[in-house]
Amino acid sequence: MLKDRLGFGFFRCALLAWAPVLAVTAQTLVDLRTQSKSVDFSGASTTKPMKAGTVLPAACGLGEAFFQTNAPAGMNFYLCTAQNAWTLQSGSEGPAGPAGPAGASGAIGIIQSAGANLPVESTLNFTGGGCTDDPTNSRTDCTGAGIAGLAIDVNGSAQGTQPTLNLISGTGIIQACANNSGSNRVDCTPTLDTGYAPSRAMDQAGTDHSIIGTSGGAGSAFLGTGSPTLAAYTQNQTFSFIPSDSGCVVGATLNIDGLGPIPLRKVVGGAVTAVGAGDCPQNVPTLLRAYGSPVSAFLLTPVGAPATDWVSNIAGQSSSQSSVALGTPGAGHYLLNYYADQNSICSTGSNSVSFTFSWTDGSSTRTVTTGSLALSSAQSNASGFLSGLMPIYIGSGAVTYTSTISGSCGTGASSYDLHVALTRLQ
- Domain boundary among the residues 269, 303, 337 is at 303
379 and 404 belong to one structural domain: yes
Return the half-sphere exposure (C-beta side, CA atoms, 13 A cut-off) of residue 232. Answer: 5
234 and 284 belong to one structural domain: yes
Least confident segment among 116-130, 161-175, 254-268: 116-130
pLDDT digits (tens, 9 = 90+) for 395-413: 988 899 999 999 888 888 8
Predicted pLDDT at 225 = 94
Return the half-sphere exposure (C-beta side, CA atoms, 13 A cut-off) of residue 21. Answer: 5
Predicted pLDDT at 303 = 39
Give me the percent of the chain exceeding a pLDDT of 70.
Answer: 79
Predicted pLDDT at 296 = 95
When divided into structural domains, the chain yields a total of 3
351 and 313 belong to one structural domain: yes
The answer, yes or no, to whether residue 213 has pLDDT greater than 50, is yes
237 and 317 belong to one structural domain: no
Which is higher by pLDDT, 140 or 372? 372
**The overall pTM is greater than 0.75:** no
For residue 369, being part of any structural domain is answered with yes
- Domain boundary among the residues 253, 286, 303 is at 303
Domain that holds residue 415: 309-424
pLDDT digits (tens, 9 = 90+) for 174-187: 999 999 999 888 89
Which is higher by pLDDT, 136 or 2? 136
Residue whose C-alpha is closest to residue 117's, from 152, 157, 61, 76: 76
362 and 408 belong to one structural domain: yes
The answer, yes or no, to whether residue 39 has pLDDT greater than 90, is no
Q: Are strands 297-301 and 308-317 parallel, antiparallel or unpaired?
A: unpaired
Predicted pLDDT at 402 = 95
Report the pLDDT averaged over residues 24-39: 65
CATH number of the domain residue 416 falls in: 2.60.120
367 and 296 belong to one structural domain: no
339 and 408 belong to one structural domain: yes
276 and 314 belong to one structural domain: no
pLDDT digits (tens, 9 = 90+) for 271-297: 788 887 778 888 988 899 999 999 999
Predicted pLDDT at 273 = 82
Predicted pLDDT at 5 = 52
Please, what is the average pLDDT of the chain?
A: 80
pLDDT digits (tens, 9 = 90+) for 219-245: 999 999 998 889 999 999 999 999 999
For residue 256, being part of any structural domain is answered with yes
- Domain boundary among the residues 250, 283, 303 is at 303
pLDDT digits (tens, 9 = 90+) for 305-319: 334 468 888 888 888
Predicted pLDDT at 426 = 54
Which is higher by pLDDT, 327 or 379? 327
For residue 262, being part of any structural domain is answered with yes
- Interacting residues of 108 by C-beta distance below 8 A, sequence separation 6+: 120
3-state secondary structure the chain: CHHHHHHHHHHHHHHHHHHHHHHHHHCCCCCHHHHCCCCCCCCCCCCCCCEEECCCCCCCCCCCEEEECCCCCCCCEEEEEECCEEEECCCCCCCCCCCCCCCCCCCCCCEEECCEEECCCCCCCCCCCEEEEEHHHCEEEEECCCCCCEEEEECCEEEEEECCCCCCCECCEEEEEEEEHHHCEEEEEEEECCCCCCCHHHHHHCCCCEEEEECCCCCCEEEECCCCCCCCCCCCCEEEEEECCCCCCCCCEEEECCCCEEEEEEEECCEEEECCCCCCCCCCCEEEEEECCCCCEEEEECCCCCCEEEEEEEEEECCCEEEEEEECCCCEEEEEEEEEEEEEEEEEEEEEEEEEEEEECCCCEEEEECCCEEECCCCCCCCCEEEEEEEEEECEEEEEEEEEEEEEEEEEEEEEEEEEEEEECC
Predicted pLDDT at 306 = 38
282 and 206 belong to one structural domain: yes
390 and 412 belong to one structural domain: yes
Are residues 25 and 11 in contact, defined by beta-carbon separation less than 8 angstroms? no
Report the pLDDT averaged over residues 356-373: 92
321 and 299 belong to one structural domain: no
The answer, yes or no, to whether residue 379 has pLDDT greater than 50, is yes
Phi, psi for residue 421 in degrees, rounded to 5: -140, 140
320 and 288 belong to one structural domain: no
